[in-house]
């Protein structure tokens, strides 16, 4: 989504650490998205703890995607999550 210009990554550790520049950059986002690899929901909880409302959320194992510990996700899995979120965000912004 970042490569397509429809999203932007932010440092979750920086947000959790309340690093002011990262908090301000995240506040500038139109839609806050959290993607978690399991039901523990660390990304969502970190954003909420920092005071953000998560606008769109996906927990990938609920989509039938196995959590990947080697930082080498399948391209098809990345595309599946990206397409799902792109559609949700477009609907939210009235583009669909």
Does pLDDT of 67 surpass 90? no
Residue 78 in tokens: 């990345």
The pTM assigned to this predicted structure is 0.87
pLDDT tens-place string over residues 22-40: 999 999 988 999 999 999 9
Q: What is the pLDDT of residue 32?
A: 94
Does pLDDT of 17 surpass 80? yes
Residue at 1 is within a domain: no
- The separation between the first and the last C-alpha atoms of the chain, rounded to the nearest angstrom, is 17
* Residue 78 φ then ψ, to 5°: -60, -45
Burial (CB < 10 A; 0-12, 13-18, 19+), residue 47, is buried
Looking from the CA of 53 toward its CB, the CA atoms found within 13 Å total 3
Residue at 7 is within a domain: no
Residue at 81 is within a domain: yes
Residue at 5 is within a domain: no
Name the percent of the chain lying above pLDDT 70: 99
Domain of 87 in residue numbering reads as 12-92
Structural domain tally of the chain?
A: 1
């Amino acid at each position: 989504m970042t490569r397509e210009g429809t999203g932007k990554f932010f440092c979750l550790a920086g947000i959790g650490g309340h690093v002011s520049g990262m908090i301000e950059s995240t506040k500038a986002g139109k839609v806050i998205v959290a993607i978690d690899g399991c039901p523990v929901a660390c990304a969502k909880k970190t954003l909420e703890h920092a005071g953000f409302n998560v606008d769109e959320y996906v927990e990938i194992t609920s989509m039938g995607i196995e959590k990947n510990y080697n930082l080498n996700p399948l391209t098809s899995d990345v595309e599946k999550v990206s397409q799902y979120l792109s559609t949700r965000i477009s609907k939210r912004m009235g583009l669909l």
